[in-house]
Structure 1
């Protein structure tokens, strides 16, 4: 948590509130930079004075909108809002507000038929372009305005190309939308302590540092884990007496490889009464079977072989490990439960979020690999790259080849979030644990 050092708004926030008088008004830039507060205050003033007609607030889901925006309104102006979590409408300053989740292209159907007098959009870059286009078309009440926030994304993203870049065109240019944007960095938020800013900057690396700290619209390119250093990020597994918790993470394949990892939380090792390392996650063992090269295995056979592999390794853990499986492995999950595996759950498969969290832990020295015991994983991590063909379409995704180890690793990292949140104080753990 952070401690407020000033109640006043920053100059950047004040100017954005005063200058947001266009049809489209966007606050963009670094995380925790004060852009949401500025946009909310402007939205509240608009709700009070907006022309008659329906108003809408949109997020990727209703839950993310509630967490990112509605809860903030309730904190800063509790008497201004009446909202039941999950409901499709809210009341803000007496006005009825439609609360809409726009998490896929079909979401545009949810606003068909509305004639809007205004809208607020949280995290614009995660909204489908078709929904955004439909939303602008539905803002047909004279004087209707849209207010929204976003973190930077790929420079080929439709919001950047079709709106933010066109803001630079001359005012009388036929392709220039009626838009204004405000760019924020961490220092524009007066409520942040300097220590929090330092810790936040230390919590991100590479692509996400450039986007979420510097606020730059930059493309992913090259190696995904470009910070990997064999000397820093590989180490022999410590003695099992130092293992405190464990996670078995598995990426499932039938003709493709099935890859399992054992990740453990290790206590600080002591030497002469002094701790030599902090607590960290250590990948200490792997199991892999390539169905194409060695023949396909039944789910029952995979379960049995995993048990033979994991059994001796987890004997010294204080409690049975949590087992997280590829969400597509429904049949294997059923088989393993029937075989008596405890603590099985479906993995969190948010690719970018998992990669971002893994990158932060690696860069901070909080995630290491026993290279001798996990040679396949280490080789795949070093060769894990962004798909250049997809990047040209504005889509960021890893190359789908030799990625089963990295996939299993991010499953395990996401499952271990309750542990590593405490290691990333700059973001209070929560921001890296969910999509930003």
Structure 2
């Protein structure tokens, strides 16, 4: 229905938004190919030999993964890139441009485009999005947009999706709208998606803010283990997460992973008013003496502290600190019952886990009761995405499990 309408009717902007894995991008990829054919016909009628079109994503990597590789896999189309990393398809010159930061403006400023395809639009810098729209001044130009939901105050929702402008059409997608998904996959996704905001967004496609406790699925009865339990489990690797602090708690956690991919928070070291050189380095060295030269995924906000760890021959690495991605990764492990904590021996964790709550208006947690939980987030997300001890095949499996 959507494809038929978009091919037969006129419009300026199409926005497909909603839950993950609902076919939004697949639909837009097909429409993108149709748009290029249409653009070439319009340009030829005006004796324009090389019409330009903007293809935009959060980064060039996401364009490759979400659009170009998918088109190659589906239709066998091969893309050849010039020195500017752009390509020509169906006689249309496609300019690839990121949109996540204001720096991406330079790639498109001043050009006249016959259309644009904006992938993952909720991640776009608003000024860059507006500039892409302004560049689409060629005859009959149209803009394809797809995105997952964000918070209900997001400019894309308020200014475009909810707009009464006749040239904008939008469609909302839920997981169940994708009839090509197997029942097994759909069931697994629903069962492993964290409760609350993540379920509302990723399953039902709603633009909602978080509400209440961040890790709402944590259950002491399910997720607490004892030292005796841990002694019976063979870990395949260990690593640490480090959140620096002084007035607020600094924290180092030790995490182990077993052969089944279960994550165990084994040790917590959380203290106030400790010096890095005199206190935290000795604590870290004791951890190394016990577990080997394991990585310490550190908060990069204090690079001088990371350097001190490194100078003391500790395997200190800047952590992957993406907040929402990290929280979703930990929350998914909790919901999937693949996350366990040495609960009785982690007093700071016990205090934080039930007090770590979403901000009422911002799309992030309140910056309180988050010290140990931040170090856990750094450790888990960094292990999934950065650990050089994890084979690429296993990394991919882990990312698939988390729906990332």
Q: TM-score, normalised by structure 1?
A: 0.81
Counterpart CA distance in 2 for 1:230 and 1:20 is 55
Q: 1:223 to 1:87 in 2, by over 3 A?
A: farther
Q: Which runs of 5+ in 1 are unaligned?
A: 1-11, 170-175, 268-277
SS of aligned partner of 1:222? coil
The equivalent residue for 1:228 is: 218
- Structure 2 counterpart of 1:91, from 79, 88, 100: 88
Aligned residue for 2:344, secondary structure, equals coil
1:182 has 2:171 as partner: yes
- The aligned length equals 386
CA–CA separation in structure 2 for the residues paired with 1:337 and 1:433: 31
Q: In the TM superposition, what is the alpha-carbon distance from 1:416 to its structure 2 partner? A: 3.1
1:261 deviates by 0.4
Q: 1:13 to 1:196 in 2, by over 3 A?
A: farther
1:288 aligns with 2:246: no
Residues 190 and 196 (structure 1), Cα distance of their counterparts in 2 relative to 1, 3 Å cut: same
8 A Cα contact 1:27 1:181, kept in partner: yes
Q: Decide whether aligned partners of structure 1 residues 325 and 20 sit closer, same or farther in structure 2, where only a CA change above 3 A counts.
A: farther
CA contact (8 A) 1:384 1:398 kept: yes
* 2:25 is aligned with 1:36: yes
5+ residue gaps, structure 2, are 44-50
Write the deviation string for residues 113-160 of structure 1: whole angstroms up to 9, x where unpaired. Answer: 111110000001000111111221221122110001111111111111
Tell me, what secondary structure is at the counterpart of 2:367? Answer: coil
1:377 aligned partner: 349
Rate the CA distance shift 1:19–1:226 in 2: closer, same or farther, 3 A: farther
Matches within 5 A, 1:57-206: 57-79=55-77, 81-83=79-81, 88-166=85-163, 169=164, 176-206=165-195
| Mapping for residues 282-431 of structure 1, pairs under 5 Å | 282-291=264-273, 296-299=274-277, 301-308=279-286, 310-311=287-288, 313-314=290-291, 320-342=293-315, 344-388=316-360, 391=361, 395-417=362-384, 429-430=398-399
Q: Secondary structure at the match of 2:71?
A: helix
Q: 1:264 aligns with which of 256, 260, 264?
A: 256
- Cα deviation for residue 358 of structure 1 reads 0.8
Measure the CA separation in 1 of the matches of 2:4 and 2:265: 49
Q: Is the 8 A contact 2:288 2:294 kept in 1?
A: no
The answer to whether the Cα contact below 8 Å between 2:351 and 2:369 also exists between their aligned partners in 1 is no
Judge conservation of contact 1:256–1:290 (CA < 8 Å) in 2: yes
Aligned-residue offset at 1:373: 1.3
- SS of residue paired to 1:45: helix
Structure 1 residues 65, 89: closer, same or farther in 2, change over 3 A? same
Structure 1 residues 163 and 22, CA gap change in structure 2 (3 angstroms) = same
Give, in angstroms, the shift of residue 21 of structure 1.
3.5
For residues 223-260 of structure 1, the C-alpha deviation after alignment (integer angstroms, 9 at most, x for no partner) is 11122222222221324352312111111124443201
Cα distance, 1:283–1:42 mapped onto 2, change above 3 Å:
same
In 1, Cα distance between equivalents of 2:29 and 2:288: 53
The structure-2 alpha-carbon separation of the partners of 1:253 and 1:364, relative to structure 1 and needing over 3 Å to count, comes to same
> TM-score scaled to structure 2, two decimals?
0.87
Q: Distance in 1 between matches of 2:199 and 2:81?
A: 35
Task: Give the aligned partner of residue 240 of structure 1.
Answer: 231
Whether the 8 Å CA contact 2:210–2:359 is kept in 1: the answer is: no
* Compared CA separation, residues 16 and 186, structure 1 to 2 (3 A): farther
Q: 1:136 to 1:196 in 2, by over 3 A?
A: same
2:225 and 2:340 in contact (8 A); partners too: yes
